[in-house]
Structure 1
Amino acid sequence: MGEKVAAKMIGHRLKTKQTTRDGIKVTQLYVAETIQYEDEWYLALTLDRESYTPVIVISKKGGVNIETTAKENPDDLHSFKFSLTRGITHELISEVSARLEPSPMEVKSLGNILIRLYNLFVSKDATLLEINSLARSSNGTFTCLDARFTFDSAAEKRQKELFALRDAESEIEEELEAEKHGLIYIKMDGNIGNVVNGAGLAMATNDAISDHGGASANFLDAGGQATKETMQKAFEIIMRDERVRTILVNVYGGAATALGPLRVPLVVRLQGTNSAEGLKLIEEAALGLHVESDFGKAAEKVVELARASCS
């Protein structure tokens, strides 16, 4: 029975909401013991970016997509901010218990798990430790059925042993190539390419495109120190993607002339100090670019061009 199940997985592509449309090729299997349990909880330690503190996120409704729970049943999801210095204290465990009303045995088991997660979170420079599902047994103990851990990429030099475990074969080739040049590239399922400096602006750009009925082919953050060379590499990676019908740029570094004639329309949005002068220079360069200073108009334009190229 086990061999038949394994045969259906090995060599095939795993497709989830966290993967691209193509999925990830399965080359290894992790086999775990089956356990009996009453229900499934969700538990995570992550960072609250707004308050600059770590936070516990927990729900009695685990085993499902946590984004769905947050959207459809937000009252089932509980958050507890805490001090990174003080860690998991008795007061914090009591606060969690007061909200969830677990049994004394469940409190003890949950407290032990939180302490171990915290130690891992701090010692390994984690940004997310997520257990879904956290199985609750009838005797009041908890067992991790599945987990997803994310660690700070900036901690690679401190966490050499941890980062040595990285499986590059399961990652997307373009994302690895971009990383070597100081770029953050994430492949998505749309047909509009993006080149942006700053993660926040990149997310806002993707949202703006979506608001106007389009879909991004990538999330590409060129960083705050973008050079002509890094920008050229960013364009090269995006231009190799045959799905891309047009490109929206929220930063401009002089790469267009080096790349030669572009096979798709390019929309450049520029705003800030001397933006008017910058837009004028781009227009005078006669590179055939579409320039906009308004964020919404730039997103609207790029969606319009993408649709026109598909018709």
Structure 2
Amino acid sequence: MFEPTAVYTPDPTRYESMRYVHSGDSGLQLPEVSLGLWHNFGDITPYAQMKEVVFTAFDNGITHFDLANNYGPEPGSAEKNFGRIMREYFPCHRDEMVISTKAGYEMWDGPYGRGGSRKYLLSSLDQSLERLGLDYVDIFYHHCMDPDTPVEESMGALAQAVNSGRAIYAGLSNYDGPTLEQAAAILDELHVPFVINQNRYNIFDRTIERNGLKETAKKLGKGLITFSPLEQGLLTDRYLNGIPADSRIAHDGRFLGEDALTDERMGQIRELNAIAQQRGQTLAEMALAWLLHDDAVTSVLVGASKPQQVLDDIAAMNNTDFTDEELRRIDEIAGA
């Protein structure tokens, strides 16, 4: 175990303000709000800024930190940067954390740098552990379905990751219901602790309601952690009066472009914002609360580039009750 090389003393009351939920039928508990280190922990972000975001998250009971091999930019840099934070400030707190990573999307050139093959998944996990400076991760996910690889091979690789001690639990990400059911049966037969699915889900994006993932996960007793809860910032009040100079659209168009702000979408955002105001919440708080009220959802992954954003996201836990009329109206506005 590394010795910390810098001083950081976590808030001793950090667990009091967070709720923890079992991931499906498993014994693993996750915080209702987890921190995703997608594109705010790459090399374009100042290290001090990343460090303060992690400090704020941990000080407020966020114990789960989610990565993938290709998170950056550049690919791999999020794991490298988080590994540095762990080494310098958190080695004494490793057992208080759930750290996850994934492999599936393209990470390096050639035929072995993507997909679901045993070769790729296990090689990628070794590289992730080296970047993180860890002996193991708590959850290792297959990041996406691969139609060119037998599901049995991909699940066998997850089994090897767990059996070798390089991961404690297995997870699946971006699967649909039928493939989830097939994969879960294989993992059960292999006695692999598969406990969670990670999928995109928010008021606007209802894919997992249509492809069977949400229903199947609940039926099988598997957890569900959701990403993009704010639809890349559209489910906030950021764009109600135009495009701010410091917004994602203005300075980083990789994931959200100006063409997303159609008249129809803006109308939906304004109507949802009105409901949020009636509830005494910001639109972002309501969007997160809408996910947290759902008993199929274990945890919501949030991204943050500033400490205050972490605190704002946690505030959504203060009111997760919705009337039937509010839920009906939200579905109607979203076209669900």
TM over 0.5, shorter chain: no
Higher relative contact order (CA 8 A, sep 6+): 2
TM-score (norm 1): 0.28
TM-score (norm 2): 0.27
